[in-house]
A and B are shown apart, each in its own frame.
Chain A
Amino acid sequence: MDAQAKLYEIPKARAIRRRHRRLPAWTVSWLQILPLTAILSLMFALPTALFLAVSFFDYDRTGIYPAFLLDNYREVFTSSSTLRVYGSTLKFTLVVWAITLFLGFNIAHFLIFHVRNGKVRIVLFLLCAIPFFTSAIIRTIAWIPFLGRSGAFNQALMGLHLTTHPLDFLLFSDFSVVVAYVHLYTPLMIGPIANSLSKIDRSLIEAARDAGASRWQTMANVIIPLSKTGIALGSILVMTQVMGDYFIVRQMSGGQSASIVSALSTEIQAMQYPPAAANAMVLVVIVAVMVGCLMRVVDIRKELVK
């Protein structure tokens, strides 16, 4: 008997004994999931509960004091500057969602249905995916020398005589904020939608064709409904990323715009933890409602865990 065979060989009696001693299935599952549950409880659930509690606390310049006050929440809902920041974040979320959905769906559709060579598809797909795994900070500030007043884009426009003056709205404006968001988050849309599209049975599309459906009818009645899992998943990822951002909005608007989280981080820096926590809770509820609505469209759990 050679070494390899020995490695795999087990006396039959021992194997049978082991089988009798085997742990029940649910115990095995729980042992496997326990580390994940423990870490997420300790580092995510518990801290969240903590700032929920802190959002009712009292505070002054020197510290925070346990209490049950609704003042912090009242402040969030009555301060007009806070409400303006909420409005602005929701506006960015909506605009970025619409653009990334359009781009993401069309690019995923191109990759899955139009690119016929499997190897080419993988390469193109990787080209879309790789930037996601590089630094978001660097990818954001990369726009500054590109869009600036004397930046590459303005220089190119003037070189082509398309404009005589450099365009000012390109950088440090709402425009540049949206550009940076779209740049960062479109891959989050492409991935899940491409995943859904690749699972569509091609014969369904051929059947629609044969039944006389036009290209648009096939798209509206077959492809889009069958890719709604990917659309919902991509939407959740993009929307939550935009709602949680504080760096891009500050950097790309040149400090002119704020987001909910950037306002909140200013409060944290000023050690005003209770109002920051109240703000955070309101944001968490908004995000939860949004994700909840999208989860009603598709049962993500059933789609992911088969």
Chain B
Amino acid sequence: MVDRHPRQNPIDARPWTFYALGMLFALYMLFLYGPMLVIYTLSFQGPNGGVTFPIVDPSLDWFRDVWRKGQMADIPAAFSRSMALASVVSFLTVLISVAGGLAFRRPFRGGGVVFYIAISSLVMPSLLVGFGIGLGFQFLGLQPSLFTSALGAQLTWTLPFGLVTMFAVVNRFDRSWEEAASDLGATPFQRLRYVTVPILLPGILGVALSAFTLSYDEYARTTLTIGARNTLPLEIYALISSQTTPMLFALGTLTTAVSFLLIGTTLLFLVQTQQRRQWHRGPDVEPVGAWTRDTTSNL
């Protein structure tokens, strides 16, 4: 739209930069998805095939191998630990960072300090966070475990992430809706329950999804805080050095499928919410732009 020259036909006039950037984008997509597609394909390798092409007698053997409890790893147990931790992280992140995002809507004393602590926690090299927590537990004579040290370590990453996402979400929230609710006699709780939360729901879901997937795949903050029993990414990490079979690829395909399933479900739900609102409200000025910004801010 920028490059539309006023004297040219606006529909036909695509500047050369459009084609150049379009090409760059296509190549980037190839770069982004190419290697992933290679390992998805290779996970269907036959029992006698190797870790590269060609595929000899395609089979599901390596997927079965994932399920088998080996000497090195217990994948199903690690997977259930990861799911449990990610659920708790996601729940806490939503509660705490949504509240935090609401707090920052008005300036308050000490807000700056909290903000900079959150940003520092976000940019801190991940392993160092785990190192510090691990040291702390050692000094206190505590055993690191899934729902103490590992949970805390992951929250130092998902909470600031959720908070920054909430900033973008509440920035576009029109406070007159809340004022209207109060003027009509709503209690603070009713105002939150029936006005604020429903309006912010797409953003809140974005926070929940990002917290879940970030926790589910986290390894750098968790590795020194997990104790004896690994989460799935750490189990995969341990397998990399020992396992040189396509089983690793099958495992990669499965864990990515779980992420895709979660992302897909959330997106579907968001699209439905959006459509339902559209239907109630009638044609909107620019729902699409707002939605893009929502999604962008989730990064």
Contacts and interface: CB of A to CB of B under 8 A. Distances in A.
Given A107-B25, A145-B42, A134 B217 contact: yes
Candidate in B33, B97, B132 with the most chain A CB atoms within 10 angstroms: B132
B154 to A, nearest CB: 9
A270 B27 CA distance: 44
Interface string A126-155: 111111111111110111111110111001
Interface in A23-68: 25-26, 28-30, 32-33, 35-37, 39-48, 50-51, 54
Contacts of A246: 127, 220
Interface string A216-240: 0010000100000000000011001
B6 to A, nearest CB: 7
A296 interface: no
Given A32-B103, A284-B124, A301-B115, A107 B52 contact: no
B20 to A, nearest CB: 9
Interface residues of B, number: 111
Interface string B148-176: 00001101100110011001100100000
Given A10-B187, A50-B135, A135-B259, A145 B52 contact: yes
Interface stretch (B63-71, B72-80, B104-112, B197-205): B104-112
A268 B224 CA distance: 9
Candidate in B6, B34, B131, B256 with the most chain A CB atoms within 10 angstroms: B131
Interface residues of A, number: 115
B39 interface: yes
B249 interface: yes
A244 B126 contact: yes
Contacts of B233: 135, 137
A150 B259 contact: no
B237 A48 contact: no
Interface string B194-233: 1000000000000001100110010110001000000001
B135 to A, nearest CB: 5
Contacts of A190: 299
A85 interface: no
Given A191-B299, A283-B125, A37 B114 contact: yes
B52 A151 contact: yes
B153 A244 contact: no
A142 B124 CA distance: 27
Contact of A155 (B53, B136, B160): B53
B256 A134 contact: yes
B106 A126 contact: no
Nearest to B29: A127
B25 A142 contact: no
A280 interface: yes
A43 B248 CA distance: 33
A79 to B, nearest CB: 19
Nearest to B24: A106
8 contacts: A22-B188, A39-B156, A44-B120, A106-B21, A110-B24, A142-B252, A283-B125, A291-B123
